Copies of this chain bind each other. A is one copy, B any other.
Amino acid sequence: MTADLEARFRAGERAALARVLTLVENDPNVHETWIGKLPPIGRAKVVGITGPPGGGKSSLVNRMISAYRQRDRSVAVLAFDPSSRLTGGAALGDRVRMMETWDDDKVYVRSLASRGRLGGLSDAVFGALRVLEAYGVDVILIETVGVGQGEIDIADIADVTVLIQVPGTGDTVQLIKAGVLEVADILVVNKADLPGAERLYRDLSSLVHEVDPKPGAASVVKTSAAENQGIDELICQIEGRIASKAEGMKARRAAAELRHLVLSRAERRVNRQLRSPEGVALIDAVARGELHPQEAIERLGSWGS
């Protein structure tokens, strides 16, 4: 982080924001020096958007950007694509196309790779949130892929979590199996023009009521990104949820940030240890059954960091 870059970032230069976010993603040291000293989320609203691949998340996010711009809010999108082991990067084709759509300096779309094992998000998300808050963004949409741990992490970070479902991809009971219903504030039936959308909407509505009959239970909203329908209703639901949850989320997000920082540091350390000649020897001994795994990790622990 140079003084020049910081000055340009403080002056609101978009290219400087892009550079800073690249540092967030690639340079763990900048977290320990500069980014960790930025204020946490205060003014900005954080909305998590999650759902299975093929659910039309990117199109819906595009419609949401339009809706927020009509309300004169600036919007940033952080999209987490699962990273590829071989290439070390994410498949960015459709994301790049999405960014090209917006010629508006109040919209900023950024794709971040979800490295490592942190449930679809990397700890870059915490640095990115601090950077976007400092930049003065009004609304931050965090888009994650997949059904699994990803949603659980996003629910620790976002003021409100939106789960997208589409008709025709399996029984709604699978949602319970996946344990995601309990972390979503709003369930979206997207592609509501497809056959089966009405039934999915009814099933989800009764499922929500079964799991949690209280007034604070998740809402269910129908949208069609293709036909630009239901977007205002979705934004309205999001605003309502944020109003009721935002204060409690600040501590929950801070706890998640600390947990991620500690575990990322532990992960970097153990990966470094296991790649070293001593680590490889320990792995081989465990693989051959000559060393018990607990004994191996005691030896790892005694190396220091």
Contact = CB atoms under 8 A, between A and B. Distances in A.
Nearest to A262: B270
B120 A117 contact: no
A257 interface: yes
What number of copies of this chain does the assembly contain?
2
A292 interface: yes
Contact of A300 (B53, B91, B258): B258
Nearest to A291: B254
Nearest to A271: B259
B54 A170 contact: yes
A146 B85 contact: no
B292 A82 contact: no
A82 B177 contact: yes
A152 interface: yes
A146 B178 contact: yes
- Counting contact residues on chain A (CB < 8 A from B), the size range is 35 or more
Interface stretch (A32-40, A65-73, A98-106, A231-239): A32-40
A39 B288 CA distance: 8
A230 to B, nearest CB: 21
Contacts of A174: 53-54
Nearest to A117: B119
A178 B261 contact: no
Nearest to A286: B254
Given A54-B170, A82-B178, A258-B293, A120 B148 contact: yes
A258 B287 contact: no
A207 interface: no
Contacts of A271: 259
B146 A262 contact: no
Given A40-B286, A119-B117, A293-B36, A84 B261 contact: no
A171 interface: yes
A263 interface: yes
Nearest to A52: B52
Contacts of A147: 52-53, 145-148
Interface string A169-205: 1110111111110110000000000000000000000
A136 to B, nearest CB: 16
Interface string A110-132: 00000001111000001000000
Contact of A85 (B152, B168, B284): B152
Name the 10 nearest CB pairs between A and B, nearest first.
A54-B170, A146-B148, A53-B174, A254-B287, A266-B266, A254-B286, A250-B287, A84-B179, A36-B294, A82-B179
27 contacts: A31-B294, A36-B292, A39-B289, A40-B287, A53-B174, A53-B177, A54-B170, A81-B177, A82-B180, A84-B179, A85-B179, A85-B183, A91-B177, A117-B263, A119-B119, A120-B148, A120-B149, A149-B149, A253-B287, A254-B286, A255-B274, A258-B282, A259-B271, A261-B293, A261-B294, A262-B297, A262-B301
